[in-house]
Amino acid sequence: MPTKKVINILCYNETPSSLETFEYLKIKLPKLGYIVAETFDYNAELIISIGGDGSFLRALHKHNLPDIPIVGINTGNLGFFSETTPKGIDDFLEKYITGDYFIEEIHPIKAKICTKNKCIETEGINEIVVKANKSRTIHLSISVNDHLIQNFSGDGILIASSIGSTAYNYSAGGSIVDPSLEVLQITPLAPINSNAYRSFTSSVILPSNTIIKVNPEYRYEDSILLVNDGTEHYHTGITEISFKLSDRKIKLLRLKDFNFWTRVISKFL
């Protein structure tokens, strides 16, 4: 028997454009021989995310970063992850059916958060931010491959992936990195650089095999806010947080005419 061609359509906002696009695809895809999954199918051949970048990230996190190619249809604002718009759906589907696309694989950031009693793990696609749980200066010891590189003081630090270099990282003054380069980037948030405190004032870019360790300097700073792709998580009793690139891969479907720097110019300049 032929394999069923199943597609997951995910729509996480209620804008008229998103809902119209969702309904259009529910009618269009079966006419092309595809089955639209009623509930998320982990054996599907494709995920279509409708919305903006926030919807795209929520789609991946909600389903535990599934090993299925994903494509975005932008009905939001920036739409950096998206590959097409509602007006371009028919053209996209034609190219998808004919195989006129490629898969870009990216590694999320893996964080291990340890207290005296346990460790938990989480993954971020764009970035993971470390801040104090209140609006005050935080003091952190930052090590790279077990070598202390600085005692940071400021609002916090941001650990970005290559694909996330154009997100919060860019707004915070970090460098834009071509996603073909697998790196980790540490970007300081409002660093203090004075006679009392010395911190890097620019981002630091590190190779893919790097392990970054962050330790609170003072006892009262063991209650920390981690912001994972925009979602806040509070942790107490933290002794250490380590970051590295995950072994998992996220599969972004790109049309063959996709060019990262053309996308950057069109979105930011």
| Separation CA 66–CA 83 (nearest Å) | 19
Structure tokens at 171: 């707004």
- Angle between helix 89-97 and 16-31 (nearest 10): 30
Question: Which one of the listed residues 53, 100, 155, 222 is annotated catalytic?
Answer: 53
**Cβ atoms within 10 Å, residue 89:** 16
Residue 73 φ then ψ, to 5°:
-110, 115
**Cβ atoms within 10 Å, residue 104:** 17
Which residue in the block uniquely carries the two structure tokens 């996603």? 179
| Separation CA 106–CA 188 (nearest Å) | 23
| Three-state secondary structure readout of 25-80 | HHHHHHHCCCEECCCCCCCCCEEEEEECHHHHHHHHHHCCCCCCCEEEEECCCCCC
100 is catalytic: no
DSSP string spanning 76-106?
SSS-SS--B-GGGHHHHHHHHHTT-EEEEEE
Residue 41 in contact with residue 47, Cβ under 8 Å?
no
Task: Give residue 110's Cα distance to chain centre.
Answer: 11
**Cβ atoms within 10 Å, residue 81:** 27
Question: Any idea which residues carry the catalytic annotation?
Answer: 53
